Amino acid sequence: MTTALRTQYVAAMTTAPESRPADLVITGCTTLTHDDPHGAGGIGFVEDSAIVVREGVIESITTPEAVAGLPAVERVDARGQLAMPGLINCHTHTPMVAFRGIAEDVPIEEWFNDWIWPIEVNLTDRDVELGALLACAEMIRGGVTTFADHYFSMDAIAAATEASGLRANLGWGFFSSEGAAGRERSLDFALRLRDAADGRITTSLAPHAPYTVNDDDLAATAELAREHGLLVHIHAAENGDQTAASVAAHGHTPIEALRRAGLLDVDLLVAHGTGLTDDDFVVLGRGTGHIAFATAPKGYLKFGWDMTPMRALASIGVPVGLATDGAASNNTLDVWESMTLTGLTQKSAERDPGWLTARQALDHATTQSARAVGLGDRIGALAPGRRADLILVDLTGPHTQPIHDHAATLVFSARSADVLTTIVDGRILMRDRKLLTLDVPRIVEEMTTRLPALTDRGHGRRVQDYDPA
Amino acid sequence: MTTALRTQYVAAMTTAPESRPADLVITGCTTLTHDDPHGAGGIGFVEDSAIVVREGVIESITTPEAVAGLPAVERVDARGQLAMPGLINCHTHTPMVAFRGIAEDVPIEEWFNDWIWPIEVNLTDRDVELGALLACAEMIRGGVTTFADHYFSMDAIAAATEASGLRANLGWGFFSSEGAAGRERSLDFALRLRDAADGRITTSLAPHAPYTVNDDDLAATAELAREHGLLVHIHAAENGDQTAASVAAHGHTPIEALRRAGLLDVDLLVAHGTGLTDDDFVVLGRGTGHIAFATAPKGYLKFGWDMTPMRALASIGVPVGLATDGAASNNTLDVWESMTLTGLTQKSAERDPGWLTARQALDHATTQSARAVGLGDRIGALAPGRRADLILVDLTGPHTQPIHDHAATLVFSARSADVLTTIVDGRILMRDRKLLTLDVPRIVEEMTTRLPALTDRGHGRRVQDYDPA
């Protein structure tokens, strides 16, 4: 960090602090900061810093000396640790943790038609809630503080979110095969649950994909999004085969289908986009909404797909957030792993060791992910006025020493298991790796008894057929 | 596991056990077993098993009931844990942990010529030993029980190996630019240190690469290997550019250079091989030595290289072991990460979700890695008579639950931080994540004071120029 920037942060404390005790004071950590918390500019690291939290908000980032006498309800000695914005899982299906490892080594058609969609027929609200609870536990342990979920039985997921203490953007998925009822349910949920859980829950409309939601329903979704000021969260151009199938069947790409429906002129979160074409970048660049993509590279590697073209998307100013997708394809909800894999696979896909750098990977993990889930002004950076969603990362392990460059250490040496403490809205959800809101053995025990019924495929039915045209 | 196989393991205990106490008894774990510990056949998982260790060797794999009354010096209750062979790092340069993260986002030429080889000019024996000690600590924490090291000041690395309790194959690297002295030093070390540290140290001859060791020196190395029964550990065909440069300069590939030198007719461990040609597979298939490759996919992703062609190597019966290379390119010595990345990148490189499977990845991590480092009859499988090199992995974490398939859980959900206990020759080197042989804070403290002198590049010299022809 430059001296000027350090001075700027220290200056935040020269105004007299409030006399009430702070809710939380963290001291001695190195803090990851952004030159501009809205995402322009670079990332810096302030050594031997302190963070003051009051009423769920970061009040200041300063020095340990400046807060030595400050009364506080809770203090965390974070020497040897690094404070950074909590990770954001920009696209997942939390209950699918129940299917982790059940459908391996198969192509996407078989994965959907022979495994996932036959099993999902069996899901009950309780299965969904248990899956979401286990997923929240995994994410808190991995330093995730916000997730964007696109699934069914979303009230159960909202209940799990509330219980866990996490922040989430939730969207009830729908297919046109459900008729108007699917879209209406998605809207009802989005309006009912927005700003629930003390504002930690935001919502979106969640059409499944252009190959399962028809043009009329996509257009109606865009209208509803505009009318109600809602984000739309959708899968599109998931891989090159889908794009080719769309062009063959309709004469245009999935992204062009979104444009025709008006979805590029509302706030839009697109999962995957590994099958984008050169024309798609032109179309995306003309969209007037806040458009973002979510990338989940582990699954793309497993399925043998291309990677999300992050360099081309960066060139047209489209943010790309990090994601895990569901654990049935990704096996974990480890966004740290997604960050590392993003750094690795982007260099590999571009055949360029210079794209993308560790600092760029951190930018995607923080401000770009926050923008992708529609929370760019609330989270994604540690700065005064932002929600206090942050994690403390142990940097004393032998695999992270010595430190020549904090960005490289975080992206290419550290891992999710190094997250010691996870904080959302100033509330500590995990401290020194001990979960404080969820009871994993109890969740796993109940899930285990339900698994035989849940994973039965003998009924011969499925939620939907996979046919990407 | 089949009932027949379970019966076979249980049968090992029907002979009367010795009356002396066992050295170590582990109970309640799921054990990863091989149908054939020499590497043919499949991998199985025996639930609720027990492992008896005596004098550094696995005496039996049986049931907890069978050992309930067995006297033992030490007992480990491993319920909820999985026992598997310790991981093997088939190619690394341990002291380079000191350079972790110092040379990021650059191509290989710049990495060698502007960073690594200028810095390595500064290395002292003490720097090497400290680096090796830190590396050993990292590897023990990550479940590695054996490593193959190719570096300089190898007596210092041998001392670190001895202190750590790990098993290693050590080779003193040399270039033809050193004249005959380099080769002679490599041989002297290999003969002096073989079977040191109670047999935990084996040795190899370590010519650097065909582009830094000339044809005469390669041929002399092959002669020495044959005469003394030594493994040869070398870098070759590291990437496609190297192969192309070799063909342009000499009219043949690096692998053909090894053949002409006679190195394919001795026991040979080749690092990387991402630049193999179709002709190379024919040449390799005709070699009469035990030839193996070591793959370190993380660095290949970072440099934008191809992957080691493991499917083609499998088709000619050449084992491929897992590796991390040095931490200056790989950022960690995390072989578990290499295993996961091998599974992911092989599917991606082949554009085939069916190659390679999680079970195949485990096979590479166990028996194939053991064969690669010349220890195929001693380690790499948990079976009576094998050295007791094993790890206990926690499978109760939310990211590894529920378990539908142990192989998928291990390769795609678990991670090195889940290793609770690391055992070599029956000696516990880490228990419940606490290191028992090495003091990381002390090592890091001394290394940190030495870093400014070590990383100075102001002298303008380098070990060698990178010129892959």
pLDDT at B468: 84
Dihedrals phi, psi of A201, to nearest 5 degrees: -100, 120
pLDDT at A20: 85
Q: Which of the residues B331, B337, B362 would you substitute to probe the A interface, choosing the one with the greatest number of A C-beta atoms within 10 Å?
A: B331
- Confirm if A228 and A191 have CB atoms less than 8 A apart: yes
Q: What is the average per-residue pLDDT within B239-264?
A: 97
- What pLDDT band is residue B467 in, cutting at 50, 70 and 90? confident
Q: What is the pLDDT of residues A88-125, one digit of tens each?
A: 999 999 999 999 999 999 899 999 999 999 999 999 99
Residue of B nearest to A455 (CA): B404
| Amino acid in the structure at residue B427 | R
Residues in chain B: 469
Torsion sign, CA atoms A99, A103, A108, A114:
negative
- Confirm if A163 and A437 have CB atoms less than 8 A apart: yes
For residue A88, the cross-strand partners are A146
- Confirm if B194 and B201 have CB atoms less than 8 A apart: yes
Nearest by CB to A402, from B100, B397, B403: name it.
B100
Mean pLDDT is lowest, of A15-19, A244-248, B166-170, B349-353, for A15-19
Contact call for B441 and A397, based on CB within 8 A? no
Low-confidence residues of chain A: pLDDT under 70: 1-19
Q: Give the Cα separation of B275 and B273 in Å (integer).
A: 5
DSSP state of A412: I
Residues of B in contact with A106 (CB under 8 A): 353-354
- Confirm if A379 and A146 have CB atoms less than 8 A apart: yes
Which residue in A164, A167, A169, A95 sits closest to A125, CA to CA? A95
Q: Please state, as a whole number, how many other Cβ atoms lie within 10 Å of the Cβ of residue B6.
A: 17
How far is residue B83 from each of residues B32, B40, B418, measured CA to CA in Å?
6, 20, 12
Q: How far is B222 from chain A (nearest CA, A)?
A: 35
Residue of A nearest to B442 (CA): A398
Q: Give the Cα separation of A265 and A268 in Å (integer).
A: 8
Q: Give the Cα separation of A165 and A359 in Å (integer).
A: 29
Residues of B in contact with A409 (CB under 8 A): 100-101
**B453 sits in which H/E element:** helix B440-454
User: Is A351 or B14 the better-scoring residue by pLDDT?
Assistant: A351
For residue A33, the cross-strand partners are A44
Number of H helices and E strands in chain B, helices first, is: 18, 17
- Confirm if B208 and B234 have CB atoms less than 8 A apart: yes
Q: How far is B282 from chain A (nearest CA, A)?
A: 27
Residue of B nearest to A405 (CA): B101
Q: Give the Cα separation of A103 and A92 in Å (integer).
A: 17
Residues of A in contact with B408 (CB under 8 A): 100-101, 104, 331
To the nearest 10°, report the CA torsion of A336, A337, A342, A343: 80
Residue of B nearest to A398 (CA): B138
Q: How many CB pairs under 8 A join A and B?
A: 189
pLDDT at A8: 47
Q: Reply yes or no on whether the pLDDT at B391 is more than 60.
A: yes
Q: Reply yes or no on whether the pLDDT at B11 is more than 50.
A: no
Q: What is the pLDDT of residues B114-143, one digit of tens each?
A: 999 999 999 999 999 999 999 999 999 999
Contact call for A404 and B358, based on CB within 8 A? no
pLDDT at B164: 98
Q: Which residues lie closer than 8 Å to B388 by C-beta, 6 or more apart?
A: B24, B51, B53, B56, B57, B58, B423, B424, B425, B426
Q: Would you list the DSSP string of A110-133? A: HIIIIIIHHHHTT--HHHHHHHHH
- The rounded mean pLDDT for chain B is 95
Contact call for B451 and A402, based on CB within 8 A? yes
Residue of B nearest to A134 (CA): B398
- What pLDDT band is residue B20 in, cutting at 50, 70 and 90? confident
pLDDT at A13: 45
Q: Which residues lie closer than 8 Å to A188 by C-beta, 6 or more apart?
A: none
Q: Reply yes or no on whether the pLDDT at B224 is more than 60.
A: yes
Joined together, the tokens standing for residue B206 give 């370590």
pLDDT at B241: 96
Which runs of consecutive H residues, i.e. helices, occur in B70-204?
108-110, 117-120, 125-141, 154-164, 180-193
Q: Is B447 exposed, middle or buried, given 0-12, 13-18 or 19+ CB atoms closer than 10 A?
A: buried
- Confirm if A134 and A323 have CB atoms less than 8 A apart: no
Q: Reply yes or no on whether the pLDDT at B13 is more than 60.
A: no
Q: Give the Cα separation of A240 and A427 in Å (integer).
A: 42
Q: Give the Cα separation of B166 and B230 in Å (integer).
A: 20
Q: Which of the residues A109, A239, A331 would you substitute to probe the B interface, choosing the one with the greatest number of B C-beta atoms within 10 Å?
A: A331
- Helices A254-261 and A240-250 sit at what angle, rounded to 10 degrees? 60
| Residue carrying structure tokens 């590939």 | B253
Q: Which of the residues B144, B337, B399 would you substitute to probe the A interface, choosing the one with the greatest number of A C-beta atoms within 10 Å?
A: B399
Q: What is the average per-residue pLDDT within B292-303?
A: 98
Q: Angle at CA B120, nearest 5°, toward B115 and B123?
A: 145
For residue B425, the cross-strand partners are none
Q: Please state, as a whole number, how many other Cβ atoms lie within 10 Å of the Cβ of residue B175.
A: 18
Which residue in A296, A374, A371 sits closest to A335, CA to CA? A296
Residues of B in contact with A398 (CB under 8 A): 97, 134-135, 137-138, 141, 440, 443-444
Residues of A in contact with B399 (CB under 8 A): 138, 141-142, 332-334
| Residue carrying structure tokens 């939601």 | A213
Joined together, the tokens standing for residue B243 give 């192969």
Q: Which residues lie closer than 8 Å to B377 by C-beta, 6 or more apart?
A: B38
Contact call for A404 and B455, based on CB within 8 A? yes
- What pLDDT band is residue B6 in, cutting at 50, 70 and 90? very low
Residue of B nearest to A98 (CA): B402
pLDDT at B466: 87
Q: Which of the residues A344, A399, A400 would you substitute to probe the B interface, choosing the one with the greatest number of B C-beta atoms within 10 Å?
A: A399
Nearest by CB to A331, from B337, B350, B412: name it.
B412
pLDDT at B183: 97
| Residue carrying structure tokens 């023990």 | B140
Contact call for A106 and B348, based on CB within 8 A? no
Q: Give the Cα separation of A204 and A186 in Å (integer).
A: 8
Contact call for B405 and A302, based on CB within 8 A? no
User: Complex ipTM, two decimals?
Assistant: 0.95
